[in-house]
Amino acid sequence: MGAGCNCNFQNNVVDSTAANAITGAGAINYANNSFVNNSNIATTTQSPNTLRYGYARSTLQPSFLYTADSQINVTGNGVTAVVSFAHMVFDQGNPGGFVFNGTDFSAPVDGNYLFNVCITVSNLTVANTRIMVDLVAASGRYQISNINAGVVFETNTGDKRLTVTGSVIVPMTNGGTTVHVAVTVFGGAQDISVFNEIFGALNTFISGHLVS
């Protein structure tokens, strides 16, 4: 890097056995570079992570959003029902097809994925002791909610509805793990409905994307 030189250096792999692979009196602006074998940058003027050429997006980035387009019934004390999200809003990032099949998400690449879940349940009564919503993955069962509906609803009149939301980052491997949403109801008649659209608002959905 000669004196008076100003270089933009982005999205490269520097592989050198020298401690300082890039040296000199010139100025360098760099971002998103990988340095291996202990190599590094040592110039007179360095501006790391400053290159920003407007907006950037990639259709290879795993990302999806699905909603439930019909009522889902959960029947039975302590019985777990897997929620189906049949309506696709968008789904991208898997060259072989969709990353979400309406029930299970399969990671197209290794990484950590952020999931956002919103579930609305109806027909709750004071006799329902608990309603549990979990994001189930190979690495564990991540609880979105565990609510005593009988305490929340102190009267038994009318149709009682409850909406719960939650987010979690889950480590996943390509082709090796899947993720789905499960609802379990305890107590009462155990005849609970998972709703989607109420008063024009989407109330049951799941979204996810690769974060790291």
For the stretch 81-126, pLDDT in tens is 889 898 899 998 887 778 899 899 988 888 999 999 999 888 777 7
pTM of the model: 0.71
pLDDT score for 197: 67
Question: Where do the structural domains in the chain lie, given as residue ranges?
Answer: 6-48, 63-210
Q: Between these two residues, 118 and 30, which has the higher pLDDT value?
A: 118
When pLDDT is cut at 50, 70 and 90, the band that residue 51 belongs to is low
pLDDT score for 168: 95
Average pLDDT, the chain: 81
- Number of Cβ within 10 Å of residue 210's Cβ equals 19
Is 63-210 CATH 2.60.120.40? yes
